[in-house]
Structure 1
Amino acid sequence: MDLRNLRLESACALLQQEMPAMDMPDPLAYVQNVIDGLCDLSLKDPLTGLSNRRHFNMVLESEVDRVARSGEAALLLLIDIDHFKTVNDTHGHPAGDQVLRVVAKALQACVRPMDTLARYGGEEFVVVLPSCQPSFGHAVAERIRRSIENTRITVAPGVELQVTISIGGAFALQWIRSTTELWTDRADQQLYRAKSTGRNRLCLEPQPESHVSAEEKNLLFGHLSAAEPAWIDMSSVAAHGSNGQR
């Protein structure tokens, strides 16, 4: 591969790395590194370093599918910085950017490596918490709220701010193939409740109850091989169900 045939100047500038020497020993590995770097850059928010909305949407779609198949609990949190416009109007947009960076770092310290934290847009953040039972979810959300409330943010010499957040959360529907839009909308309704009832608080929708029976779960998600015992069990269940004996 002759790197002189590739226009890499803009890509290298985005990645803040120097152009390679034309006689480098492994040009293919270098180009692959550039591609990987650009992919990573496309999924990151440049201000906070968190995942961006594009990556969040991908994760949320995957989590909806996983919960529908496994029945495990999963929680979505929407987080909004209270009165953020006042910060920008009073102290300027550079101060607002600093608030966003510090809040993002504080949020990262509150979640697990398996969770996905992203900047949703403006002063709003989202967290997807897989395998999250209701009691754990409430504890995590409250820990996040307290952490931001207790964080002091220096935006200029001698100028320190304290901000609060409002949190809305909703659990994914178990055993049901819902949509990311409906899940996000349910969490957003809870965020609106938190905002309208005073801010600096959290509102979590109770986990929806699953009305799918064990037999129905087996029919939906059992092995699909006729040689497997699960297939025989499902056929038996189906036969009993047709005779009204379930």
Structure 2
Amino acid sequence: MSLQATTDFVDLRALRLDTARSLLEQSGDDGPGCGNATDYLQGVIDGLCNLSQHDPLTGLANRRTFRAALERELDRVARSGESALLLMLDIDHFKAINDTHGHTAGDAVLQALAHTLANCVRPMDTLARYGGEEFAVVMPACQAAFAFAAAERIRCTVADLPVRVSPSLEIRITVSIGGAFAQPWVRSTTSLWSERADQQLYAAKDAGRDCVRIELPPDSTVTAEEKSFLFSHFAPPDTHAANVAAPHAPHSAP
């Protein structure tokens, strides 16, 4: 039986949609309107899909969605050889914020940072809350020459951000940033790419926090002189030129 034939016989009254509607309402989604049965069910499905792809506190992509974005980008880099940068960001001393001002203040910091980061990245970039106080950005078509500047712009913007955690209190936060490029023409994995970026994040924290560390891709540029040296030994001999330059000597007398 085809999918269309199956859905024609769906009785919405037999579906347990109360929990789905409750989840949508709790997330601030008004839920599906009062259209026909198909529109109503499609609205519920779309709302649940959106919930499953985003972090409920910040509204950013969640870890599952970000992993899918990493997979797509690794595939593109492996096929095209283009560049892609992964940035991992961590709020410095976030535990102290929670311990001093409470978890409500910590949530306010996470939300403020998410809003700021969203204004720092391009529409083509994928920004996610990676877990706890850690965020991540995958940046397609980001050349190595601009990587540090892009990350430093984020760091400086966050450092200049006043976060109001209560009607009478504003605090300042900083972030440590680590980054790594996907290897062009290489079929890598999301785990390996994330691990390399994480290592740079740890290096930024070890360097005193509130700084940027990026693992740049290896420089594979070959100069003209190097090309000449490399390929001169493999050029096929020009037999015509050799014959012209070295004609047969006359036979000597017996």
Q: Would you say same fold, with TM above 0.5?
A: yes
Select the residue among 69, 75, 81 that pairs with 2:91. 81
- Asked if 1:9 corresponds to 2:57, the answer is no
Deviation (angstroms), 1:136? 2.1
1:134: how far off? 1.1
CA–CA distance in structure 2, aligned partners of residues 47 and 155 of structure 1: 15
Q: Distance in 2 between matches of 1:146 and 1:34?
A: 41
TM-score normalised per structure 1: 0.82
For residues 18 and 179 of structure 1, the distance between their equivalents in structure 2, rounded to whole angstroms, comes to 38
**Cα displacement string for residues 79-121 of structure 1 (whole angstroms, at most 9, x for unaligned residues):** 0000000000000000000000000100000000000000000
Q: Distance in 1 between matches of 2:154 and 2:42?
A: 38
| Equivalent in the alignment of 2:122 | 112
Q: Give runs of aligned pairs for residues 1-246 of structure 1, distance below 5 A.
A: 1-16=10-25, 26-209=36-219
Structure 1 gap ranges (5+): 212-243
Residue-by-residue CA offset, 1:33-82 (whole Å, 9 max, x unaligned)? 11111011101000000000000000001111110000000000000000
Please tell me the root mean square deviation across aligned C-alpha atoms, in Å: 1.9
1:74–1:20 distance in 2 versus 1, CA, 3 Å: closer
Whether the 8 Å CA contact 2:180–2:193 is kept in 1: the answer is: yes
Contact 2:85–2:139 under 8 Å retained in 1: yes
On the 8 A contact 1:116/1:127 being kept in 2, the answer is yes
Helix, strand or coil: the match of 1:120? strand
TM-score by length of 2: 0.79
Deviation at 1:25, TM superposition (A): 5.2
Q: Deviations over 1:148-173 (max 9, x none)?
A: 00000010121110000000000000
Structure 2: which 5+ runs fail to align?
Answer: 1-9, 222-233, 237-254
Cα separation, partners in 2 of 1:198 and 1:28, compared to 1, 3 Å: same
What code does the residue aligned with 1:56 have?
Answer: F
- Any idea what the Cα deviations from partners look like across 1:188-213, whole Å, max 9, x if unmatched? 010000000110000000113459xx
Total equivalences in the alignment: 212
Q: 8 Å contact 1:175–1:210 — kept in the other structure?
A: no
- Closer, same or farther in 2 for the Cα pair 1:245/1:52, shift >3 Å? farther
